Amino acid sequence: MKITRRKFITYLGITPILGTNYISFSQALSMPLNYAWSAGPELGIPIQEIYPTVFGGEIFVGGGFVPDVNAIFYGLSPTTKIFIYNPITQNWRTGSTLPEARHHLGMVSNSKYLYGIGGFYGAKGNAWQIKETVFRLTTKNSEWVAGPSLPIPMAESTYASIRENIHVVGGKTLDLNSNKNVDVANHFMLVDNEKWETAAPSSVSRNSAASAVLNEKLFVIGGRKSGKLSKNLGHAEVYNENTDKWESIAPLPVSLAGIAATVLNGKIVVTGGEAFGPNGNWKTGRASQQVWCYDPIRDSWKREGDMPEARHGHGSVTIDDAMYIIGGGSKVGPQGTVASLLVLKK
């Protein structure tokens, strides 16, 4: 299936270099390029379950789970803290704090606003209260203000910006009949930064998927179906805003949730993730350090080795020709929360 008219460089693979912290990432057709993993400066605190984004050429991270002495969930609590990374100075700084603490806050931006969408609020014994709130910044140094609220509470969704429109797809909402959090396929689009409109729902209800935008099309990959028989998914699909339609693409070869995705050199790069143990038991599950690349020309996936460390609930963004892996958990579930920054660049 041909999804794009553009022709991109093809990855050849990832090969460990013994005795170092680096992994060479070679790609070639007519233009050989060399990529390598390196460790960037750490954030101020360990953080997982994040959806960072790029705004004004910098990386914004916040609204995740952080270690807390008065924790609400296995040593972790939601946070109001925002961290900003400048790729030129290679330094972190703190940004304006959120009006309310969140974990799994969806961050996404267009040319005018940085948005913090939905997510969970919580207290001890009730850590998973889904919110419909939307916060936004107009400049990198302004305070957060209220934006147009979501039509329904949503969390663990996927988030994207296409032609200035903000998209929120899937995740979880509160079922008013059962008073339980349930998976949804809902798809809402914020138009002109003012009004949420209903768009075509995705083909499956799921949470903890990953998304990326390539050639003004929205790709949603993997995730998890919740319930008594929790199940990871490899299902992948692409949304065309022009036609308001979804189309299935080749599934991710492994079924993973808590993954992150971004675009690098015309391919979608999916990193990390987690798989729960039998009967949805996260304590017996595992986190992944796998790297997969999706080629939209061939509609195919290729394993491109591993990250230096396992990650789930992490963030992944691209600036120029570099990919940044931020935070996350090195073990499945609310364990092994890290403050690290991994960088893949030439």
**Which of 274, 187, 196 minimizes the C-alpha distance to 238?**
187
Instruction: Please check whether residue 35 lies inside any domain of the structure.
Output: yes
**CA 191, CA 164: separation in Å to the nearest integer?**
8
Residue 122 lies in a domain: yes
pLDDT above 50 (res 33): no
What is the rounded CA–CA span in Å between residue 291 and residue 15?
Answer: 12
CA angle 126, 130, 136 (to 5 degrees): 130
pLDDT band at 93 (very low <50, low <70, confident <90, very high): very high
Query: 295 Cβ partners below 8 Å, 6+ apart?
Result: 8, 10, 267, 301, 302
What single letter denotes the amino acid at residue 269? Answer: V
Structural domain range at position 94:
11-345
- 3 within some domain: no
Residue percentage of the chain with pLDDT more than 90:
84
Distance, in Å, from the CA atom of 234 to the CA atom of 156, rounded to the nearest integer, reads 17
* 3-21 average pLDDT score: 30
Specify the pLDDT at position 22.
30
pLDDT tens column, 137-180: 998 779 999 999 999 999 999 999 999 999 999 999 999 999 99
Query: Which of the four pLDDT bands, split at 50, 70 and 90, describes residue 283?
Result: confident
What's the confidence (pLDDT) of residue 11? 32
What is the rounded CA–CA span in Å between residue 188 and residue 199? 5
Task: pLDDT band for 280, please (50, 70, 90 cuts).
Answer: confident
- Contact present, 92 and 41 (Cβ < 8 Å): yes
Residue 197 to residues 151, 167, 246, 280, Cα–Cα distance (Å): 9, 10, 17, 34
pLDDT value at 2 more than 50: no
Gap between the Cα atoms of 330 and 309, Å rounded? 7
Average pLDDT over residues 48-61: 98
pLDDT at residue 141, as a whole number: 78
Residue 211, CB-side half-sphere exposure with 13 Å CA sphere:
30
Residue 2 lies in a domain: no
Distance CA 168, CA 184 (A): 11
Q: What is the pLDDT, as a whole number, of residue 237?
A: 99
In CATH, what number is assigned to the domain containing residue 318? 2.120.10.80
CB 110 within 8 A of CB 134: no
Could you tell me if residue 205 is inside a domain?
A: yes
Residue 21 lies in a domain: yes
Angle at 76 between CA 74 and CA 82, to 5 degrees: 165
Residues 6 or more apart whose Cβ sits within 8 Å of residue 344: 25, 35, 36, 37, 264, 322, 323, 324, 325
For the cut 60, the answer to whether the pLDDT of residue 243 exceeds it is: yes
Residue 174 belongs to some domain of the structure: yes
Tell whether 6 is covered by a domain. no
**Rounded distance, CA 97 to CA 75, Å?**
21
Number of domains in the chain: 1
User: Residue 138 is encoded by which pair of tokens?
Assistant: 């107009």
What's the pTM value of the predicted model, to 2 decimals?
0.90
Structure tokens at 318: 């691209």
DSSP string, 49-61: S-B-EEETTEEEE
